[in-house]
Structure 1
Amino acid sequence: MNEIQAENYSVFFAEKGFENLSQILANGGYSKIFILTDSNTTEYCLPYFLQRLETTLAFEIIEIEDGEVNKTIETCFEVWSVLSEYEADRKAMFISLGGGVVTDLGGFVAATYKRGIDFISVPTTLLAMVDASVGGKTGVDLGGLKNQVGLFANPQMVLVDVNFLETLPGNEMRSGLAEMYKHGLIADISYWNRLKDLSNFTTNDLELLIYHSITIKNNIVLEDPKEKNIRKKLNFGHTLGHAIESYHLNNDEISTLLHGEAVAIGMILESNLSLQKGYISELFYNEIKSVLSAIFPQIQLSEKDIHKCLRLLVHDKKNELGCVNFTLIKENGEAIINEEVSTEMIINAFTEYLS
């Protein structure tokens, strides 16, 4: 499978990925390798990765606890401290081996340690492959609020290998599918139509679908790397999705949601906003709701919960001049950015979803 050329780096797949990884490590003049994992990827992904890793350089493993609750500046401090303790210099190579938490946090750690050391992202979850590891965004959460601290920084390369997905739990696979559905709804309606029926899904199909999703995201990012304009298309489902995710993250009485699970709910809600704005038909809205509801379980929210989610919208990074901006969709697989929506419309969307 051919590489995908991103902004100043490439996304490589499977065997070619490991070949290019070896070349970068051999030719980069690096002093040492640091591999960031979490408690899951240490067990399930690290042995396979080390088996394929060809290098004469010494390396150290840095393990963090898994889960979104650990995507914090405190965890970064711990990783920075380990790097300092092991005398990592500016020619150290940092490899993030894991899902979205590891690749987001790892990129941020590398981009800030000694004002920036080279890093490579090796996503091991479907979500990280099609979303988190592509596009140059790094960062951590702040007090349960999603991705409030971070910066844009590109890796030396991204290595995507579907073999990492063999041990991935079903809910994590579904989480990644949410972003793939989003890519179809905002940029390629034929892709959405292809994803609607996964009954004859194979591993070969999955690799091609991942490739297509990365291509869609990469093409948007190349046009707008710093999210000044059309990159905001990728935020469909995320304005309300992030608010719902943050609310669950900060509430000890309810279970946390995976990112993709929250985004799927956000897409249903924001599809309803698109319907209320007259951008899509009721038929298309019902199709979106039906497809996503069949995969992602419905959550229960009280009126009080909804208003708490609404209060979290003020922290959304897409806000400008005090306005909450939404990305909505059209019927033909296009997105509309910077859409203002009334509180009444948002409550209507929640009410319809919960009905």
Structure 2
Amino acid sequence: MPKYTTDEDLDLLEELGVETAPDPVSQRSAREERIIAGFEEIERFVEEQGRLPNHGEDRDIFERLYAVRLDRLRESEDCRAILKPLDSRGLLDPEADTSLTPETDLDDEALLATLGIDAAENDVMHLTYVRSRQEIKAAEEIAQRTPCQDFDQFKPIFDQVQRDLATGARQTIKYQDNAAVNQGDLFILDGQKVMVVDMGEPFVSDYGRPNCELRVIYDNGSESNLLLRSLQRALNKDKASRRITNPDFGPLFSHVEAADDLPTGYIYVLRSQSNHPFIAENRSVIHKIGVTGGDVKKRIANAKKDPTYLLADVKIVTTFKLANINGQKLETLLHKVFDNARLELALPDRFSIPVQPREWFLVPLEVIEAAIEKIKEGTIDQFRYDPKIASLTRL
């Protein structure tokens, strides 16, 4: 196998079931990796077409760019030294196969000028419009689809999802990079609805990465079997990818996002400064979770006179800015998630009447932040809070 190893190579070997390990001693520089990657694209072209890439106005733009790139590689002594051990076809030697000698009706600078590229500003590995290895790999992964033989079982689900989106029962939210993917999740990828219908047993690859096999169904009647990390990569690379929320959420998130969106409020997490013995002993895990449409500081200005705030000053631990969100529904959802951890504590008000606030919870801050992240991802319905271990657990 080659002496260099990239992340893409490791992923591909992992998906092919090839057991190997990266060789830290023989890693190449980023420039060398770019040179090798560009040469491999030329090799792929030769293997598929049975000839060298040619210059010429009548040629495909990628073929013309491959031809320019090959010329540059041949001209560079440094590039030849890097690629010589990998050149099994002898592509760096223009005399190796005269039947594959390219036409030369345009010189490099003329061709680059025709393509809108300044030869003085672009080296061999930075030609405009040349697809990266990552883009090619992602496209190949998604292209490996087959007809779904039992699509009649899934079509009604896709149809209902479309109706839910039209009525607002479901929403779409931007997919967060490498966010969780679970069985039953729905996404929009490359303009198609995608459903994860089955997940295999989780495993850890030889490179320490958690992974599992997926069965994914597309709304055009096709399916693919791919690894979890492959789907995440595809969702990351598609800048328009979306997660389709569960209908149980209601209209928490608007399905229209724009640069001029107006904030609809804030989630705030507060910590009490009360001297009550129980609160003082557990202060680091007692938090008030609320949502307001106004300024949080103004909201808590008179906290020590308000039973809602345990009749004491409070400290703002963190806030999250909201946009296109129904604040009341979001607050209700958060309180429902942590309902089994409500603070059961009655305090006398100024009239000595016992008051028991309902928005305080015995929950660590990091768990609150994790719950908010899962709401953003649309997966909170798959988790519950376990007060025994102070953590979210999957249902």
Q: TM-score normalized by structure 1?
A: 0.23
The structure whose Rg is larger is 2
Greater relative contact order (CA < 8 Å, ≥ 6 in sequence): 1
